[in-house]
Amino acid sequence: AAAKDAAVAALTAQGCTVEVSDLYAMKFKAAATTEDITGGVKDAENFCYAKEIKLASEEGRLAEDIKKEQEKLKEADLVIFQFPMYWSSVPAIMKGWMDRVLGFAYAQEKRYSEGIFKDKKAMLSFTTDCPESVYSDTGINGDINVTLWPLQNGILNYCGFQVFAPQIFWDPATGSPESRSSVLEGWRTRLQNLCGEATVYFAPLDYFDKEKGFLLKPEVKEKYASNESGLTVGIHMGKPLPANSQTKARV
């Protein structure tokens, strides 16, 4: 909550219009069900949520809470996902928001660098219940860059968002009041200069051959063959993972 409040204050002070979706206060429904579609589903016998929700979106038959959140997305230039990390991911209510609200952005023809949000930016801002060492490449939870890949690539980048490096508040519960104040001040300062930051690197869609199962094109593999590390966490080409590729911007 303190991180959210700091972000609202810092962005508002810069003249930004800020709208907060407090999912718990809204009692936002996390489960993706047929209730999300008004007027009934097209194929109840072989119900497929992704297909039905996309069709309902095109026909204006979505539940009101989904419509409201989608309108906020359409208006936004920047979306910040503020959350406590649960089980190395987002809380269930936020995952439910992603499942239900981002359905209209899930498309085979418009995804990744060609996704519908390609002109928008997004970032994760989250707290943990452990020190940074736990999520290091020798820590017991494993490399935080690997942990972030499904969220930043599989959801945000898939939808087309340009993704800023995450803001991570390591184990604030055990810190002193002074240390918490310091990290919040750092967050405010970062937000003042956020527009000037580069975003996290992801391989663009045209690097992949649609006719061959979306594998890297031969010329791309050749271009990066001499690199010591892979392109990204997921597209590593059998090489060492690029260091900090999900936690720091790469030009």
3-state helix, strand, coil in the chain (%, to 5): 45, 10, 45
Give residue 108's pLDDT: 77
CATH class of the 1-199 domain in this structure:
alpha beta
Give residue 62's pLDDT: 95
The Cα 158–Cα 118 span in angstroms is: 10
**Which H helix or E strand runs over 52?**
helix 49-58
User: pLDDT, tens digit, for every residue of 128-139?
Assistant: 999 999 999 999
Residues facing 127 on adjacent strands? 84, 169
Contact residues for 31 (Cβ-Cβ < 8 A; gap 6+): 96
Q: What is the pTM of this model?
A: 0.95
CA 179, 182, 184, 186 torsion: positive or negative? negative
Per-run averaged pLDDT (10 residues), the chain, 251 residues: 96 97 98 94 91 91 96 97 97 97 84 94 97 97 98 97 98 95 97 94 96 96 96 96 93 51
One-letter amino acid at 177 equals P
User: pLDDT, tens digit, for every residue of 137-175?
Assistant: 999 999 999 999 999 999 999 999 999 999 999 999 999
Give residue 105's pLDDT: 83
Give residue 211's pLDDT: 94
Give residue 68's pLDDT: 97
| Half-sphere exposure of residue 95: CA atoms within 13 angstroms, side-chain side | 13
